[in-house]
Amino acid sequence: MGFSRRGFMSLGNVFIIGLLMASVVLSVFASGCAPDTPEAAAQSFFNAVESGDFGAFLDSVAPERVRRMSAEEKTMQEELLKSGESKYEGLKFEAKIDRKDKNKAVVTITAGKMTQKNPMTGEEQVVEFDKYEEEFGEPATLDAVKYKNRWYMDIPLSQSDVPEEGEIQMEEQSIEEGQNPGQ
């Protein structure tokens, strides 16, 4: 006994409806995983670094920063990430959204600690973020950027993202004179 044309069409419809339902479920699931706050983006970034997951690391950094990386820079960054032995405990974050651009934020690490091996000396180093400002004179911060309704860490990964020495001095001078850099 074979399938009738009518039965075949209904099986086709069931298959198409099944695919549509699966795509809806996957898109809802995927959107639920996207960091919807700068703090969640920072947590995703540190989780990726700690686990050495290069794909998750790249997913946590602003897409424009990742696109600028050359193949060589990606290889070097992946080797660096996988060779690192960083552990993070109890990290807490506080974000301040930029008043002029709601798609930018500064994320401050307010608590927790980082333990890592110094690649030069082989010694274990511990940084306690609740004492960071006291020790280093400024808080531990990361920039975040919102792109297509998702927050990412805005971290330079490419040599093209690093300003020239003269650019740094001019920016510092502008800050000292009370001017907004980049204007």
> At a CB cut-off of 8 Å and minimum separation 6, what does 67 contact?
none
Mean pLDDT for 155-182 is: 58
Backbone dihedral region for residue 28 (phi beyond 0: left; psi -120 to 50: alpha; all else: beta): alpha
User: Do residues 132 and 107 share a domain?
Assistant: yes
User: Do residues 153 and 169 share a domain?
Assistant: yes
Does residue 176 have a pLDDT over 80?
Answer: no
State the pLDDT at residue 121.
83
**Which CATH number belongs to the domain containing residue 168 in this structure?**
3.10.450.50
User: Do residues 74 and 146 share a domain?
Assistant: yes
**Distance in angstroms (rounded) separating the CA atoms of residues 107 and 94:** 6
Whether 149 is covered by a domain: the verdict is: yes
User: Do residues 24 and 104 share a domain?
Assistant: no
**How does pLDDT run across 40-95, given as a tens digit for each residue?**
999 999 999 999 999 999 999 999 999 999 999 999 999 888 877 889 999 999 99
pLDDT confidence of 34, banded at 50, 70, 90? low
The structural domain count of the chain equals 2
Does residue 35 have a pLDDT over 50?
Answer: yes
State the pLDDT at residue 91.
96
Q: Which residue has the higher pLDDT, 176 or 68?
A: 68
User: Do residues 160 and 170 share a domain?
Assistant: yes
**How does pLDDT run across 19-30, given as a tens digit for each residue?**
333 333 333 333
Contact between 83 and 41 (Cβ < 8 Å) = no
Residue numbers of the domain that contains 154: 35-176
Tokens of 127: 């940084």
**How does pLDDT run across 103-147, given as a tens digit for each residue?**
999 999 999 999 988 777 888 999 999 999 999 999 999 999 999
**Distance in angstroms (rounded) separating the CA atoms of residues 64 and 72:** 17
Nearest Cα to Cα of residue 72 among 158, 177, 13, 148:
158
User: Do residues 19 and 76 share a domain?
Assistant: no
User: Do residues 95 and 170 share a domain?
Assistant: yes
